[in-house]
Amino acid sequence: MKQIKWPLLAFAIAAALCIMGIGIAIAEESIIGILGSIIALVLVMGFGFKTKKKMRENGLL
């Protein structure tokens, strides 16, 4: 079995929470919540892909 990459798992969980936040904000009819969750999702996904690229370049993946 392969080793768990904890930083990537943390980014995946954070992205899932942001997606859930979008759904909650839609249910609450909060435009600010929707926009905030979308921005947070883009940032989390960006940092996740950036981290994955660095790990791949360093031979950790």
pLDDT of the residue at 20: 98
Q: Which stretches of the chain drop beneath a pLDDT of 70?
A: 1
Helix 6-28 to helix 31-57 angle (10° resolution) is 170
For residue 30, which phi and psi values (nearest 5 degrees)? -110, 105
Residue type, 52: K
Output the pTM of the full model. 0.86
pLDDT of the residue at 59: 87
pLDDT of the residue at 1: 55
Question: Quick one: which H or E segment has residue 56?
Answer: helix 31-57
pLDDT of the residue at 61: 82
Contact 19, 41 (CB under 8 A): yes
